[in-house]
Structure 1
């Protein structure tokens, strides 16, 4: 198939480019293609003629979104509307990547696809606006929500921990009262490849199996990479950020299961598989 990837130079986009080698792939990313400029985007889409568009481009700096509200909405909401319009006009199936941040994290169980979104951050609000734009402008779509993503080259929590873990210093405090599903871009790319073929409509959650706190995730990273800098659990209150983090980011993959989709790897298994990559994302000899 002919597959256009917005944000193809980003962490997930790079993984998809490696994963989809059997397909003809076009990377649509800055500076050549700006999703906030409809005409520029449409020219790229019309010139390539994709059968599938995977929309990865987004402003994902959660804290920056709090202070750059208009930019967040310009990229995540207006940009997604432009991608959806372009996909509709090109008669391409649209797979749009979204986030656990569309929920406020107060539920005491994993969120499934039919739970009502209630974002508590500008990032989450702008991404939810993007979801609604996709639903409005492109009927043939799959919205894929994921969480706690890491992959070759980063940036991600994992890469931050690797950097800090290799530095000398006092114990690193890591939040231990937020739960989520650490997810590798490779695992997500596998689910996206399946969804690209099957074209499951609506909203789909796709994360690795199992759950952890950020502290537990960091501890596993340090264990696998043999890092000896001490780790210390702390509370969210001890580590305040401009954007409030959801206490519960767990996503249930109900639609993926009901649609007969692929099993996602357990998060520790996926992290162990990622260990074969070095810090720059190249496979070790």
Structure 2
């Protein structure tokens, strides 16, 4: 099966390319200049040229704080662009997977969020991603929206890489303790996405395989606890570490508000698709070891 993935340089796109190696899945990564989500008129042409069996829209405007000052660009990519990709997939008659985020919720719930819980994004980024979900659903019924959170990987910029860099510069790192979520490996997300795509292709008439699903790693942590786990894993691999000083969100103000509770209930994905991601701690150590090896080289 040939899968077109938008956003060549993103964490999930890179992870999909790696995870598909040696399988029956051929990943075709498209990014600018081949495809530009702000230029909707070119999207169908770019996708048609590849003749995909499925489309995964992993491209997004992900600069959460910067989006507050660039809402038009965030919406152009995350909302209108996603809708254009979905319309192109519909014309090609292929299923589409849209990656989304925990930021569609306001984080005030006391329990993990289910797909049926009310959305209420606190930021431009979250609102633009929610608009993208709706644009995809409007454009094609043959879709699966996968909401994930706190993505880390050996690729690109992410919290794990940032913590390792800080540990090389200082002995103590101040990290927020009052936000909780599920750190999720992009490599595990890639495995999940490939499973969802296979299911969509195998059973094109099953409505319960389509719609919105939450897909995060098992287990939860605060940002401070996640940082402590990163440093512990780094120490175990001979890498840098630092002492974590837990601080409240009020001591680390940002232009965009973050949900206090980013926990997502992924049981619907397990029930429909038979997919469960491993515990985040299980996937952290190999990620740390790869990042340390990259830095050594």
Q: Normalised by the shorter chain, which TM-score bucket?
A: over 0.9
- TM-score, normalised relative to structure 2: 0.91
Number of residue pairs matched by the alignment = 283
Change (3 A) 1:27 1:228: closer
Cα distance in 2 between the residues matched to 1:131 and 1:280: 37
Farther-moved stretch of structure 1 (171-180 vs 271-280): 271-280
- TM-score, normalised relative to structure 1: 0.95
Contact persistence 2:177–2:248 (CA under 8 A): yes
Q: 2:226 aligns to what? A: 217
Q: 2:154 aligns to what? A: 152
Q: Which runs of 5 or more residues in structure 2 are unaligned?
A: 201-208
Cα distance in 1 between the residues matched to 2:274 and 2:165: 35
Contact persistence 1:142–1:203 (CA under 8 A): yes
Deviations 1:225-246 (A, max 9, x none): 0133221000000000000111
Contact persistence 2:234–2:289 (CA under 8 A): no
Q: 1:50 aligns to what? A: 52
Is structure 2 residue 267 aligned with structure 1 residue 276? Answer: no
Q: 1:165 aligns to what? A: 167
> Could you tell me how far 1:71 is from its partner in structure 2?
0.6
Per the alignment, in what secondary structure is the counterpart of residue 33 of structure 1? Answer: coil
Cα distance in 2 between the residues matched to 1:101 and 1:142: 18
Cα distance in 2 between the residues matched to 1:216 and 1:100: 19
> Could you tell me how far 1:260 is from its partner in structure 2?
4.8
Change (3 A) 1:280 1:40: farther
Cα distance in 1 between the residues matched to 2:27 and 2:160: 28
Q: 1:134 aligns to what? A: 136
Give runs of aligned pairs for residues 221-260 of structure 1, distance below 5 A.
221-226=230-235, 227-260=240-273
> Could you tell me how far 1:264 is from its partner in structure 2?
1.4
Which of 276, 280, 291 in structure 2 is aligned with 1:267? 280
Cα distance in 1 between the residues matched to 2:49 and 2:292: 36
Farther-moved stretch of structure 1 (123-132 vs 26-35): 26-35
Change (3 A) 1:5 1:281: farther
Change (3 A) 1:260 1:222: same
Which of 114, 124, 136 in structure 2 is aligned with 1:122? 124
Per the alignment, in what secondary structure is the counterpart of residue 86 of structure 2? Answer: helix
Which of 74, 89, 92 in structure 1 is aligned with 2:91? 89
Considering only aligned residues, what root-mean-square deviation do their CA atoms show, in Å? 1.6
